[in-house]
């Protein structure tokens, strides 16, 4: 394959699965570029937003126009996967591959259905906490997000609870990364 075939936005028929943390526009805008991929995400959140009008969805940062036409056919609902204990105080997670190597962990607050992904079987478990907060410092300080993130915040108390679980995970020796924080990861090296 040459570079032009691998650029963002170009169809990638070889990708078989996409793990979607939540339905905000900045996380699902390129799903049409992976036409053969199963999309693993919180199905109940999709059902909720599907019932809303396009205007109400837009107020939540959700644009179904960006989803592939066959989204429902390709959807793998996290909540249908086996539940297993996630490491270091994260609670239960969904066993994505059925072998415990990667878990989808609900981290509610930012958005209905917001999910982090944890790899528990490494020497140091690693959590991609996505948008539980945009900056690690906010997680450590146990503070709520400010604008613009607060404009689409689903549940403030759930955000604080999820941040507490992430703090416990780090304090127990786990590593964490966030989608919007410029530092690549936090925790033991």
How confident is residue 151, by pLDDT bands cut at 50, 70 and 90? confident
Neighbours of 24 (CB within 10 A): 20
The span from the CA of 111 to the CA of 2, in Å, is 37
Q: Is the pLDDT of residue 97 over 80?
A: yes
Encode pLDDT of 157-168 as tens digits. 999 999 999 999
Token code pair at residue 70: 């066959």
The mean pLDDT of 30-50, rounded to a whole number, is 96
How confident is residue 187, by pLDDT bands cut at 50, 70 and 90? confident
The span from the CA of 29 to the CA of 32, in Å, is 8
Token code pair at residue 72: 């429902």
More confident residue, 8 or 72: 72
Beta strands in 98-153 (DSSP E): 103-106, 115-119, 126-130
pTM for the full predicted model: 0.89
Token code pair at residue 105: 């962990």
The span from the CA of 150 to the CA of 145, in Å, is 5
Nearest CA-CA partner of 84 in 75, 96, 93: 93
- Dihedral angle, C-alpha 56, 60, 65, 66, nearest 10 °: 180
Beta strands in 64-189 (DSSP E): 75-77, 83-85, 92-95, 103-106, 115-119, 126-130, 175-178
């Amino acid at each position: 394959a040459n570079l032009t075939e691998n650029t963002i936005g170009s169809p990638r028929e070889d990708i078989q699965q996409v793990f979607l943390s939540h339905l905000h526009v900045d996380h699902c805008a390129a799903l049409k570029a992976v036409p053969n991929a199963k999309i693993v995400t919180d199905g109940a959140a999709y059902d909720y937003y599907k019932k809303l009008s396009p205007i109400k969805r837009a107020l939540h940062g959700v644009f179904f126009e960006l989803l592939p036409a066959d989204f429902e056919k390709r959807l793998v609902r996290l909540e249908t996967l086996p539940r297993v204990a996630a490491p270091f105080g994260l609670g239960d997670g969904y066993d994505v591959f059925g072998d415990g190597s990667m878990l989808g962990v609900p981290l509610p607050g930012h958005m209905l259905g917001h999910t982090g992904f944890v790899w528990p079987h490494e020497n140091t478990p690693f959590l991609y906490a996505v948008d539980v907060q945009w900056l690690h410092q906010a997680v450590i300080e146990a503070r709520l997000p400010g604008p613009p993130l607060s404009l689409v915040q689903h549940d403030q108390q759930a955000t604080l609870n999820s941040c507490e679980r992430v703090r416990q995970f780090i304090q127990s020796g786990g590593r964490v990364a966030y989608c919007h924080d410029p530092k690549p990861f936090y925790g033991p090296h």
